[in-house]
Amino acid sequence: MKPRRPPTNVQAILDTADPTLLDLVDHVLNKGLIIDGEVVLGLANVDLVYLRLSALLCAADRLIESPAARGRRRAAS
């Protein structure tokens, strides 16, 4: 098992509580998980992530776009 990678720009984004990234986590996590067969996953700590997320999301107060929209704009320019 490889050691966890050192903090990257993700760290920097979170330190400034980038609302786009937090919204992304909120969207993709949203308590959904399919469990099938032998792979059984407990997700007790999702609530913990959510508590931290909701606090950070509340700090956001501007119009934001998903990474996809930003990527598209970059691609267009």
Partner 1 sequence: MNRADGTATYLYCLVHAARPASGRVPRGLAGAGPVRLLDAGDGLWLAAADAPLARYGADPIERGLHDLNWVSACAMGHESVVEHFARRATVIPMKLFTLFASDERAIAHVRRTRRRLDRLIARVGGRQEWGVRLLLDENRALKARARGGARTGRTGTAFLLNKKQEHDAVHHLRLGAVAEGNRLFQRLARQADDARRQTPAQSGAGLRVLLDAAFLVRAGRAVAFRTATAKLGRQLAGAGYHLTLSGPWPPYTFVAEPA
Q: Which amino acid is at 30?
A: N
**63 sits near partner 1 (criterion: CB under 8 A):** yes
Of the candidates 60, 59, 56, 32, the one whose C-alpha atom is nearest the C-alpha of residue 46 is 32
- 32: number of CA atoms within 13 Å, CB side? 6
Q: Which of 3, 16, 38, 77 touches partner 1 by CB under 8 A?
A: 38
Site track 7-26 with partner 1 (rule: CB under 8 A), x = hit: xx-xx-xx----xxxxxxxx
The position carrying tokens 């934001």 is 64
Q: How far is the CB of 76 from partner 1 (least distance, A)?
A: 13
**70 sits near partner 1 (criterion: CB under 8 A):** no
Q: Which of 45, 74, 76, 77 touches partner 1 by CB under 8 A?
A: 45
Q: Which residues contact 45 (CB under 8 A, 6 or more apart)?
A: none
**5 sits near partner 1 (criterion: CB under 8 A):** yes
